[in-house]
Amino acid sequence: MKQLIEISKELLESRKAGYIIGYTEDKFHRTKPFIAHTTNDAEKLTFNQKAVHNLAVYLTRLPKPKEGKIGIVAKGCDIKAIIGLIQENQIKRDDIIIIGMNCNGVVKDINIDYNKENSQMKCSICELRTPKHANYIVGALEDFAKSELTKNILAEFEALSAEERWKFWEKEFEKCIKCYACRQACPLCYCEQCIVEKSMPQWIDSSPTTKGNFAWNIIRAFHLSGRCIGCNECERACPVNIPLSLLNRKMGMVAMKEFNYRHGIEPDQPTLIGNYNTSDKEDFIM
Amino acid sequence: MEEEKFEPKITAFVCNWCTYTGADLAGTSRLKQQTNARLIRVPCTGRIDPVFIIKAFEKGADGVLVSGCHPGDCHYNTGNFHARRRWIFFKQLLDFVGIDSTRLYFSWVSASEGKKWVDVVNNVINSVRAKGPFLGYKNLNKETELPLVNKN
Amino acid sequence: MKNFVITREQLANLASKLLGENWTVISPSQNGSKYLKIKDAKDLIIDSALKPTDISMKEHFFPKSETLFFFKRKKDDYELIDAPGSEAKTVIFGAKPCDASAIPVLSKVFNWDYKDEFFNKRVENTVIIGLACKFEDENCFCTSVGLSPLAENGSDIFLIPLSDDKYFMKPITDKGRDFIAANETFISEADNISEPINDFSTPQKRFSTENVKEWLDKNFESKFWFNAGETCIGCAQCAYVCPTCHCFDIVDEDCYSCGRRVKNWDSCQFELFTKHASGHNPREIQGKRYRQRVSHKFKYYKDRFDELLCTGCGRCTRGCPVSIDIGLILEDINSHFLETINVNN
Amino acid sequence: MRIGVFTCHCGENIGRTVDCPAVSKACADFPGVVHSEDYKYMCSDPGQNLIKQAIKEKNLNAVVVGSCSPHMHEKTFRKACSDAGINPFQVEIANLREHCSWIHDDVPSATLKAIDMMRMMVEKVKFNGPLTPIRVPVTKRALVIGGGISGIQASLDIANAGYEVILVEKEPSIGGHMSQLSETFPTLDCSQCILTPRMVEVYQHSKIKLMSYSEVENVEGFIGNFSVTIRKKARSVKDELCTGCGLCVQKCPIKKVALSEFDEGLATRPAMYVPFPQAVPNIPVIDRTICTYFKNGKCQMCKKVCGREAIDFEQQDELVKEEVGSIIIATGYKLYTIDKKPDDSPIHGYGEYGYGKYKDVVSGLQFERIASASGPTSGEMLRPSDKKVPKKIVFIQCVGSRDEAKGFSYCSKICCMYTAKHAMLYKHKVHDGEAYVFYMDIRAGGKMYEEFVRRAIEEDGVKYIRGRVSRIYQDDGKIIVKGEDTIAGVKVEIDADMAVLATAMMAQTEAPKLAQTLGVPYDKYGFINEVHPKLRPVETSSGGIFLAGACNSPRDIPDSVAMASAAAAKALVLFGSDMLEREPVVAKVNEATCAGCLYCKKVCAYNAVEAKEIKDRNGNLIKVVAYVNSGLCQGCGTCNATCPSKSVELLGFKDDQIYAQINAFAEV
């Protein structure tokens, strides 16, 4: 990680960057997000296969630096979130410095070391191991054990009857405790007032009842339609283990199938929602 | 309660310029239709937010109908194009979570299509009546409902 | 005083008997997610080495959502209707010391200026059978907050595993004694067996809560907080999984003709928690919210109720999506305090 | 909330199938309702008085009327209520007639539905809140784009009414296509003789600011308050100094290089030129692409001979800003490209007609120039190739019109008439000549039009052949026209001296770009759309922007002039009041909660949403939020539905209003 530290030091020393959003390791060898403000902090920066967190979430959460730009350490897949935020006027490309990391896959369960089983599915189909749109590219690409996509969970799930799907989600959503960890962990959930916090009118019941949970999870998935960049942080953050990525991946498929669109690929790409095509399908409209 | 024949409750969100006016035309032409639909007038289908539909189901709708101007006829030029794009996502999302999305209907009815409006409304009412009450959502309500004993 | 012994088998039998008598029987779930109402005694899990469930036991006394009352809309006013409280007799098997001990702590706040009848009713109707703990990971620090794997606080009955699937059964409260008396057929008396605590390692203390509190008393404005809370993304899972966090929000859910007033879990980690109608927010940054969390647990609650609002279960750390470790933060505070001492001398 | 509910029987219309007294009684029990009554005709004066009375006596602050469609009487009841002191937007209508009594037979169920409808409206009105109409000032100046006959007419009408007009023309002179015409149908009076006086009048009019050789660059703002940026192209001549003596034009040595646009390429013009003798303004332009000074710094002849030192080689394009309240689009048409398929256009051209290949195959406008006294042949009928008098001439109609495959599906409307005119003009000048016309149908609707065509056939002996021409080719100096007479059912072949193609009218190439700048819709051909083809033919969907002439669809002179006057009248209506009043049903942003994702901006069809910077008192940027310009907002609410945080809401259809309706619908 020498290179990462050197670059970060230089950026902080020259005040090109006010701070750098990166990863560090604590004394229990947990890899966790870390904000480096000083060159001493920079010494603590690291990157490894447990650097699963999508740090783009901090771009809209942290106060802007007094001086200099925001430096951010990012995997290729995380950069999609950064580009997405640019597409949605949340940040300007010129206000950030992206230190892109060549990525050799990250873990699913952060408490266990990386192995074939404990790896994110997105990694086995990753096209961005070498990041795009980065100011720097750090680290070396190495072969890594990919989890086999033995089965297409999405397809399997859709094979179920509507009845069975309803039962499935009823059971899952019943668990939801409305802690909103999914929202807070999501780099694209940057609203200053989430619709569930709007009480006049209360479109979505704030009570964690199954009904309110249905509304919350459906509308959240809808608001992320054509916007989710598939980092899976929502699912990882969920304390009651609701398989949220199923919903988001389904919406991602729709965006791909119907509109051949993926969010966060190019900064100047017109967003999916907010634009239209006169030939959008309407076979479902009477 | 169970004895009496089931009459579906239908909420219809319609745009002011095409469908609402088309429904007016159905009226002036005295075209008869069933009484189950309740219209909510909005300026444009572009104004219709999927949370309306979710909320309607929560509040006991057995079916929801959304209707507006034909593509290209939108009084506001593009409102219905943006709406249509949202619906493509929303309908498939409901399907995915197992909400019977066949209880959610979409149609284009212009100001001149009074007849079409009547047919659409009757179709929706008939097919929802055939499906029966939307138990899926109604059961969710039990959690938060006033215990029946004190209901009346 | 009398002591008792019960076998694993008898525990199961006891459970199924209670189920037969329409008791609500609760035990940690197979998948370790939460304390679950079981329908069948075979789902009963008694295991000292069990990792603390993802969510604490508190939801069975202080549910995530609870109707306070219903109301019916009249032409010019509302008619209020009491919500049916839970009368069910309840027993919880295999409660971790760090879960059981949270209940008396919570009772303090729920019986402070206002007596929360919902909470009290549930406590009154519930027999908590605690179980000595053999689990330890880097997130645990029960010993640092005055508890231990053998802490009996909050339990009505406490189980300590003996060899060959037997459990040393220790009545703690009168409720516990009555429960044992009512179910003695499953339990054999065991006079003067010495408590087999020897094979329980006690994790070493990581910090002194006295030091922590003293530091907190003086360092409200310390910039320490802004680093401590800097990477917190303000998801409140810590508060929601915590056995002692008890903030709640009260909302009215209105239908046209009737509605209800509901009490829902809430958390000081949300920006909205302290946001004024004016838009002003006294805790405008996450650091201040995180300070609130720590201070409430180790200072305010201590000041008001002479209790710590933490049982060292380590859930908040285990579940934190950005791995913020409250244990480490308390260690830091502790050492900061020691530094200041050294400076002073 | 003190709500009054009024149920109208509409005579028998509602009363027959809805038990109005029962409805009225049920409404009386709704929370918030303090007054409920029913009456035979609520819209009648006594009915309205009932409402006013109740408002005063019961001191109501909101009203729900169960009656006919809001499209019928919403305004009536709003007015009545505001007369009685209630904000007109605290009034809601339940459509008990069109949406209930008229479409149902069964009284009990219709009555239940009526009660539901009333309940939903009572709930809605609780959240309406008072709104005040938006008042915007009107800038009483007009911009007219295009200096053809339409633009000239519109400008004169508005100016003569006493209001300032800015007339923008992209060519060096106004006059447009009409100035190129020889005579005009059906009267055969000389086009320039009737046009040039108008052109001069424009030039001399104290209220008209003429900007020739200029183009509209950008348009901002909204009805009553447009701010327009106009590019004044560099003429290389100081117009304030030039007297139009024309010496520079005479002396310009570069005479034969450029083809004259005005003469449709049948003649040449100098590098320093005025399009035609009667040009207005009569100020020359230097064609910098061919002027030797601009090419290699030599010559400067014009500068030497100009006594007024008006020549300015350094002159640059200049951007002029103008504030106007109304805009009239009169950009006219251009001619269909006959010979080839223009890039990315749907038309395929008629290569087989040999246009561009054979000099003696000419377009309609080219023939106008040949026939024109001011034309290259000074009005003598001479064919371009060898300047001989054509003895046999063939006119072909519908070249590009009514032909989906090779041109446009629409009819260009004027070709039947101008072809008849061409044939006549030819016969009048070449008495022994033969004129043939190939046509599909004769479409001569219009005053004296049919008679005109008959005159061509009967008096001037023009031979009309019903059928299409398949091919034109040259054979020793002859133009051979192969076609078919579909009436006689025989193939025909004419060895003519000349062929004239009645080419279709099409939209100006830049029309779509201009339409986008103005934010008005246009059709697939590039013609700018009217709001309603019958009832609002000169208005665009953007308030304050009107249409005149062929920019909207093919039109002849009388139609264009009429339309221009109509558009002028629309603009004058606007100028009739100092303030504009608009319904306050517009979107409003909650800046406190807006996160500035600007999806609302993306979905707005009216460019009504802008990004707005919020700064602290030291001027540091706090955040960027959306801002809705209520002058531009038309109130569709698409932004409201798109906004994930509901930080922008449509007044009159706010979320809480709709929520209340949904909440109330499912009862009983």
Name the residue among D353, D386, D384, D385 with its Cα closest to residue D371: D384
Residue A111, C-beta contacts closer than 8 angstroms, at least 6 positions apart: none
Q: Residue A261: how many CB atoms within 10 A of its CB? A: 18
Q: Is residue D658 part of a domain?
A: no
pLDDT, greater one: D404 or B36: B36
* Shared-domain flag, residues C331 and C213: yes
> Would you call C134 exposed, middle or buried from its count of C-beta atoms within 10 A (0-12, 13-18, 19+)?
middle
**Domain range for residue C111?**
4-189
Q: Alpha helix (H) ranges present in B64-113?
A: 79-96
pLDDT at res. D344: 60
Q: In this complex, do C75 and D663 lie within 8 Å of one another by their Cβ atoms?
A: no
Residue-range domains of chain B with CATH:
10-150 (3.40.50)
| Whole-number Å distance between alpha carbons of C92 and C97 | 12
Residues of chain C contacting B151 with CB distance shorter than 8 Å? 258
Of D100, D641, D665, the CB nearest to B46: D641
Of D103, D603, D663, the CB nearest to B82: D603
In angstroms, what separates the C-alpha of D541 from chain B's closest C-alpha? 9
Q: Residue D337: how many CB atoms within 10 A of its CB? A: 20
**Domain range for residue D620?**
587-651
| Whole-number Å distance between alpha carbons of B18 and A283 | 20
Name the residue among D193, D178, D182 with its Cα closest to residue D148: D178
Q: What is the CATH number of the domain that holds D622?
A: 3.30.70.20
The amino acid present at A139, given as its one-letter code, is G
D376: preceding bond cis by omega (within 30 degrees): no
| Whole-number Å distance between alpha carbons of C171 and C168 | 10
| Whole-number Å distance between alpha carbons of D64 and D62 | 7
Q: Is residue D431 part of a domain?
A: yes
In angstroms, what separates the C-alpha of D523 from chain C's closest C-alpha? 48
- The pLDDT tens digits for D487-511 are 999 999 999 999 999 999 999 999 9
Q: What are phi and psi of D286, to 5 degrees?
A: -95, 125
DSSP-assigned letter for residue C32? S
In angstroms, what separates the C-alpha of A202 from chain C's closest C-alpha? 9
Q: Is residue C159 part of a domain?
A: yes
ipTM of predicted complex: 0.92
Write down which residue in C161, C189, C217 finishes a domain.
C189
| Whole-number Å distance between alpha carbons of C37 and B139 | 21
Q: Is residue D662 part of a domain?
A: no
Considering only alpha carbons, which residue of chain B is nearest residue D643?
A: B49
* Shared-domain flag, residues D279 and D366: no
CB A239 within 8 Å of CB A184: no
Interface test with D, best of B40, B81, B118 (most D CBs within 10 A): B40
Chain B residues within 8 Å of chain C (Cβ atoms):
59, 144, 146-147, 150-151
| Whole-number Å distance between alpha carbons of D254 and D242 | 20
Q: In this complex, do C258 and B146 lie within 8 Å of one another by their Cβ atoms?
A: yes
Q: Residue C76: how many CB atoms within 10 A of its CB? A: 8
Angle (CA) D197 D190 D337, round 5°: 100
Considering only alpha carbons, which residue of chain A is nearest residue B117?
A: A286
| Whole-number Å distance between alpha carbons of D223 and D539 | 12
CB B50 within 8 Å of CB A223: no
Tell me the count of A-D CB pairs closer than 8 A: 56
Query: Is residue A71 helix, strand or coil?
Result: strand
- The pLDDT tens digits for D563-605 are 999 999 999 999 999 998 888 999 999 999 999 999 999 999 8
Give chain B's radius of gyration (CA, Å).
Answer: 16
| Whole-number Å distance between alpha carbons of C207 and D216 | 76
- The pLDDT tens digits for A236-248 are 999 999 999 999 9
* Shared-domain flag, residues D114 and D210: no
Q: Residue B3: how many CB atoms within 10 A of its CB? A: 4
Write down which residue in D444, D471, D506 finishes a domain.
D506
* Shared-domain flag, residues D115 and D262: no
Tell me the count of C-D CB pairs closer than 8 A: 16
Q: Residue A68: how many CB atoms within 10 A of its CB? A: 18
Confidence at D425, pLDDT banded by 50, 70, 90: very high
Ramachandran bin of C72, using left for φ above 0, alpha for ψ from -120 to 50, beta for the remaining angles: beta
| Whole-number Å distance between alpha carbons of C99 and C95 | 6
Which residues in chain C belong to E strands, given as ranges?
A: 4-7, 24-28, 35-38, 65-73, 78-82, 90-95, 126-131, 157-161, 166-171, 188-189, 248-254, 258-265
Mean pLDDT of D340-369: 83
Q: In this complex, do A208 and C272 lie within 8 Å of one another by their Cβ atoms?
A: no
Mean pLDDT of A216-225: 96
Residues of chain C contacting B146 with CB distance shorter than 8 Å? 70, 72, 81, 258, 260
- The pLDDT tens digits for C150-179 are 999 999 999 998 877 888 899 999 999 999
Q: Is residue D660 part of a domain?
A: no
Number of structural domains chain C divides into: 2
D149-173 burial, b if ≥16 CB within 10 A, otherwise e? Answer: bbbbbbbbbbbebebbbbbbbbbbb
HSE on the CB side for B97, CA within 13 Å?
31
**Which of B67-81, B134-148, D633-647 shows the lowest per-residue confidence on average (mean pLDDT)?**
B134-148
Residue B52, C-beta contacts closer than 8 angstroms, at least 6 positions apart: B13, B40, D658, D662
CA C219 from chain centre, in angstroms, equals 27
CB A1 within 8 Å of CB A22: no
Residue D337, C-beta contacts closer than 8 angstroms, at least 6 positions apart: D345, D347, D349
Of D100, D104, D634, the CB nearest to B76: D634
Q: What is the CATH number of the domain that holds D192?
A: 3.50.50.60
CB D331 within 8 Å of CB D508: yes
pLDDT at res. C165: 82
* Shared-domain flag, residues C276 and C333: yes
- The pLDDT tens digits for A123-174 are 888 889 999 999 999 999 988 888 776 667 888 898 999 999 999 999 999 9
Of C81, C84, C253, the CB nearest to B144: C253
Residue D358, C-beta contacts closer than 8 angstroms, at least 6 positions apart: D385, D472, D473, D474, D479
The encoded tokens of residue A200 equal: 């006049």
Mean pLDDT of B58-78: 89
* Shared-domain flag, residues D63 and D16: yes
* Shared-domain flag, residues C148 and C252: no
Does the pLDDT value for residue D5 go beyond 80?
Answer: yes
Give chain C's radius of gyration (CA, Å).
Answer: 22
Q: In this complex, do D30 and C75 lie within 8 Å of one another by their Cβ atoms?
A: yes
* Shared-domain flag, residues C56 and C142: yes
**Which of B11-15, C253-257, D271-275 shows the lowest per-residue confidence on average (mean pLDDT)?**
C253-257
Helices first, then strands: H and E counts in chain A: 10, 6
Distance spanning both ends of chain D, measured CA to CA: 24
Q: Is residue C203 part of a domain?
A: no
Distance spanning both ends of chain C, measured CA to CA: 50
* Shared-domain flag, residues C103 and C244: no
In angstroms, what separates the C-alpha of A179 from chain C's closest C-alpha? 5
* Shared-domain flag, residues D549 and D523: yes
What pairs with residue D5 in β-bridges? Answer: D36, D64
* Shared-domain flag, residues D484 and D624: no
* Shared-domain flag, residues D350 and D323: no
Query: Is residue D173 helix, strand or coil?
Result: coil
DSSP string for residues in D308-354:
T--B-TT---EEEEEEESEEEE---EEE---SS--TT-S----GGGT
DSSP string for residues in D378-425:
TT----TTT-PPPSEEEEEEEESTT-TTTS-SS--SSHHHHHHHHHHH
pLDDT at res. D631: 81
Q: What are phi and psi of D192, to 5 degrees?
A: -65, -35
CB D500 within 8 Å of CB D364: yes
* Shared-domain flag, residues D87 and D156: no
Q: In this complex, do B55 and D636 lie within 8 Å of one another by their Cβ atoms?
A: no
The encoded tokens of residue A217 equal: 């999870």
* Shared-domain flag, residues D476 and D348: yes
Does the pLDDT value for residue D668 go beyond 60?
Answer: no
pLDDT at res. C196: 62
Q: Alpha helix (H) ranges present in chain A?
A: 2-13, 39-43, 76-87, 121-124, 153-159, 162-175, 181-185, 210-223, 233-237, 244-259
CB D608 within 8 Å of CB D551: no
Chain D residues within 8 Å of chain A (Cβ atoms):
592-599, 602-603, 611, 624, 642, 644-647, 655-656, 659-660
* Shared-domain flag, residues C180 and C219: no
Task: Quote the mean pLDDT of chain D.
Answer: 93
Q: Residue D212: how many CB atoms within 10 A of its CB? A: 25
Give me the residues of B, 11-40, that contact A with CB < 8 A. Answer: none
Confidence at B76, pLDDT banded by 50, 70, 90: confident
Q: Please tell me the pTM assigned to this model.
A: 0.81
| Whole-number Å distance between alpha carbons of B78 and A275 | 10
Distance spanning both ends of chain A, measured CA to CA: 59
- Domain range list for chain A: 2-138, 153-259
Confidence at C193, pLDDT banded by 50, 70, 90: low
Name the residue among A193, A52, A64 with its Cα closest to residue A119: A52
Q: In this complex, do B51 and A219 lie within 8 Å of one another by their Cβ atoms?
A: yes
* Shared-domain flag, residues D220 and D266: no
In angstroms, what separates the C-alpha of C70 from chain B's closest C-alpha? 6
Angle (CA) B94 B97 B99, round 5°: 55
The encoded tokens of residue B53 equal: 């539909």
Write down which residue in C128, C159, C189 finishes a domain.
C189
Q: How far is CA A108 from CA A56, A117, A123, A146, in A?
A: 18, 9, 10, 12
* Shared-domain flag, residues D77 and D195: no
Q: In this complex, do C70 and B59 lie within 8 Å of one another by their Cβ atoms?
A: no
Q: In this complex, do D656 and A88 lie within 8 Å of one another by their Cβ atoms?
A: no
Q: Residue D551: how many CB atoms within 10 A of its CB? A: 29
Task: Quote the mean pLDDT of chain A.
Answer: 93
CA D565 from chain centre, in angstroms, equals 13
* Shared-domain flag, residues D499 and D382: yes
Tell me how far apart the 2 most distant CA atoms of chain A are, in Å: 65
